[in-house]
C-alpha cells in the first residue's frame, strides 16, 4: 500500500532566498529570527526561554535552516542522529504568496507575473468596485486600501455594521480581501459577493479573492472566524494533485488546501480550523486513508495568526505545540507510507510591515526505513511534487527532480 502525507507549515521560511533583495526581504529569516528571539530571553504571555522543537530538530529542521543560510538557528541542532531526509528548497515562482508556493511544490511553478493592486489608497479601480456593488447588490464598500486584516476591522468594523458596506482591502500579495460580519451581513452573502469579485478580477491575474468573516459588536470585540474562504485562480499547469486523481488515486485536502487549488484535483475537502483542529482532521484522514492516497494539510495559523501579526512569542508557542503533536502523525506511518513537511513562503514576525517574506523553505521527509541525511539545497519547490509523483508511480509534471527513490526510502544523488 502506498500513502503519502504533505504537511505545509504555512510561512515557516528558513531564510537564505537568493532573490530576497528583489522583494525587499534581504535578511528575512522566519525560523532563525524566532529562535534567536527566544534564545535571548523572549518572554510574553507565559512564553519564556529557548525554542524547544525536539521532534522537528530530530528530523533535521535546524540543519535544513543551516543549509539555507549557512547558520543553524540558536538551539535547533539535533540532539542525536537525524531521523529523516532533510534539506531546503528555493522558490522560483514570481510571487511570495500561498498559491505560488503550493502550486510550485505540486509541480506547477508560477512563471508569470501576478497582477497586484499597487496603490496604498484607492487600491482597487473604482470602476471594478462599482461593478461589484452593482452585481452583488451592495450599497458600496469601505476601505479600498492596503491594510492589516485585524487593524482594518478595528478601524472600519463599526462603520460596516452601521452601513452594511463590506470592507475591501489588499496587501503586497496578489489578493483582494473582503471582510463582513458573519451574522449581521451573513456568511453566505459574503461568499456570494466574493464569487462575483472572483469573476471581475480574473482578467487582472489576481491570485486570490479571500472572504474574511468576523464576529463581535465593536472594535474591542471584533475577531475573525474560521469560516474564511479562498477563491483562487487554478494552477497554471497540471499539478501532482491532478495527476494522482486522474490516475485513480485519492487526494484528501485538509483546511484551506482545496480552496488554494480551486478544488481541482481534489477528491475530498475536509474543513477544519485552528491548529489542533487541523491536526485532528489530518490524523482522522490518515487513519481512514487507503492505497494511493495523498493527504495534504496547510497549517495556516502560523501565517495568519502569528506571522502577519508580527507575534514572535505566539509563533514560537505555535511551533512548540505543533512539534508536541507531530509524533502522533509520525507514529502512524507504516511501511509504504511517506510524510513530507515543508512551507510555502516566509512571514518573518520580526520583519517590518505585515506581509510575507521571500525565503527558502525547509523540506523534511520521513518514512519507515528511510535513509536519513541531507538532500541539500533544492533548486525548486517542484522537487517535492516530483518526489511524490515518483512515489506514486506517476510521470510527473515536467518540473522538478525527485530527491528520494520511488519507494521513498533512498536519497537520490
**Would you state the pLDDT for residue 40?**
86
Among 46-55, 68-77, 101-110, 112-121, the range scoring the smallest mean pLDDT is 46-55
Query: Would you state the pLDDT for residue 351?
Result: 96
Give the CA angle between residues 109, 112, 113 to the nearest 5°. Answer: 120
Report how far residue 395's alpha carbon sits from residue 383's, in angstroms, rounded to the nearest whole number: 13
* pLDDT band at 44; cut points 50, 70, 90: low
Give the pLDDT mean for 151-180: 97
Segment 207-247, tens digit of pLDDT: 999 999 999 999 999 999 999 999 999 999 999 999 999 99
The confidence score (pLDDT) of residue 45 equals 59
Query: Locate cell 533583495: which residue?
Result: 21
Q: What is the pLDDT of residue 235?
A: 97
Q: Measure the CA–CA gap between 391 and 327, rounded to whole angstroms.
A: 23
Cα–Cα distance measured from residue 25 to residue 16, given in angstroms and rounded to the nearest whole number: 10
How far apart are alpha carbons 24 and 180 in whole angstroms?
A: 32
275-302: average pLDDT: 98
Over residues 168-195, the pLDDT tens digits come to: 999 989 999 999 999 999 999 999 999 9
Gyration radius of the chain's alpha carbons: 21
For the chain, give the percent of residues with pLDDT over 90. 96
Per-residue confidence band for 55, with pLDDT thresholds at 50, 70 and 90: very high
Q: What is the model's pLDDT at position 49? A: 82
pLDDT at 346 over 60: yes
The distance in angstroms from the start CA to the end CA of the chain is 26
The three three-digit cell numbers of residue 410, written as one number: 533512498
More confident residue, 46 or 107: 107
- Whole-number pLDDT of residue 42: 67
Q: State the CB neighbour count (10 A cutoff) for residue 281.
A: 20
> Which pLDDT score is estimated for 41?
80
Of the candidate ranges 40-54, 138-152, 183-197, the one whose mean pLDDT is the lowest: 40-54
pLDDT computed for residue 185 by the predictor: 98
pLDDT at position 206: 97
The CA–CA distances, whole Å, from 199 to 10, 132, 157, 203, 283 equal: 27, 10, 26, 8, 36
Helices (H), 235-305: 240-246, 257-260, 275-287, 301
Q: What number is the average pLDDT over the span 34-61?
A: 86
- Share the mean pLDDT of the chain: 96
If one counts every other C-beta atom within 10 angstroms of the C-beta of residue 258, the result is: 25
Q: β-pairing, 337-342 with 361-366?
A: antiparallel
Q: What is the pLDDT of residue 43?
A: 54
What is the average per-residue pLDDT within 284-308?
Answer: 97
pLDDT (tens digit per residue) in 90-134: 999 999 999 999 999 999 999 999 999 999 999 999 999 999 999
pLDDT at residue 377 greater than cutoff 60: yes
- Looking at the DSSP assignment, which residues form a beta bridge with residue 208? 175, 232
Amino acid at each position: 500500500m502506498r500513502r503519502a502525507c504533505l504537511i505545509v507549515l504555512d510561512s515557516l521560511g528558513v531564510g537564505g532566498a537568493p532573490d530576497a533583495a528583489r522583494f525587499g526581504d534581504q535578511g528575512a529569516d522566519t525560523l532563525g529570527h524566532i529562535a534567536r528571539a527566544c534564545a535571548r530571553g523572549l518572554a510574553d504571555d507565559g512564553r519564556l526561554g529557548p525554542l524547544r522543537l525536539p521532534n522537528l530538530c530530530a528530523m533535521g529542521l535546524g540543519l535544513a535552516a543551516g543549509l539555507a543560510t549557512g547558520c543553524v538557528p540558536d538551539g535547533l541542532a539535533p540532539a542525536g542522529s537525524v531521523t529523516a531526509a532533510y534539506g531546503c528548497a528555493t522558490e522560483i515562482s514570481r510571487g511570495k504568496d500561498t498559491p505560488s508556493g503550493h502550486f510550485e511544490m505540486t509541480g506547477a511553478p508560477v512563471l508569470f507575473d501576478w497582477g497586484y493592486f499597487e496603490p496604498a489608497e484607492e487600491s482597487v479601480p473604482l470602476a471594478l468596485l462599482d461593478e461589484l456593488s452593482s452585481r452583488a447588490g451592495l450599497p458600496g464598500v469601505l476601505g479600498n486600501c492596503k491594510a492589516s486584516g485585524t487593524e482594518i476591522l478595528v478601524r472600519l468594523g463599526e462603520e460596516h455594521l452601521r452601513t452594511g458596506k463590506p470592507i475591501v482591502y489588499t496587501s503586497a500579495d496578489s489578493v483582494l480581501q473582503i471582510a463582513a460580519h458573519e451574522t449581521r451581513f451573513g456568511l453566505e452573502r459574503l461568499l456570494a459577493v466574493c464569487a462575483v469579485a472572483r469573476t471581475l478580477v480574473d482578467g487582472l491575474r489576481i491570485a486570490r479573492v479571500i472572504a474574511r468573516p468576523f464576529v463581535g459588536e465593536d472594535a474591542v470585540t471584533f475577531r475573525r472566524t474560521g469560516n474564511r474562504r479562498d477563491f483562487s485562480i487554478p494552477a497554471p499547469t497540471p499539478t501532482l494533485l491532478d495527476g494522482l486523481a486522474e490516475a485513480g488515486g485519492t487526494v484528501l485536502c485538509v483546511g484551506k488546501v482545496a480552496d488554494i487549488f480551486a478544488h481541482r484535483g481534489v477528491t475530498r475537502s475536509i474543513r477544519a480550523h485552528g491548529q489542533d483542529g487541523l491536526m485532528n482532521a489530518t490524523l482522522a484522514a490518515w487513519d481512514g486513508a487507503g492505497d494511493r492516497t495523498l493527504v495534504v494539510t496547510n497549517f495556516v495559523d502560523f501565517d495568519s495568526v502569528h506571522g502577519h501579526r508580527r507575534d514572535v512569542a505566539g509563533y514560537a508557542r505555535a511551533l512548540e505545540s505543533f512539534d508536541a503533536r507531530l509524533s502522533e502523525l509520525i507514529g502512524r506511518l507504516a511501511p509504504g507510507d511517506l510524510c513530507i513537511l515543508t512551507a510555502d513562503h516566509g512571514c518573518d514576525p520580526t520583519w517590518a510591515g505585515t506581509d510575507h517574506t521571500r525565503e527558502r523553505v525547509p523540506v523534511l521527509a520521513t518514512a519507515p526505513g528511510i535513509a536519513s541525511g541531507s538532500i541539500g539545497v533544492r533548486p525548486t519547490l517542484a522537487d517535492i511534487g516530483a518526489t511524490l509523483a515518483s512515489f506514486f508511480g506517476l510521470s510527473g509534471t515536467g518540473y522538478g527532480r525527485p530527491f528520494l527513490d520511488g519507494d521513498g526510502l533512498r536519497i537520490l544523488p
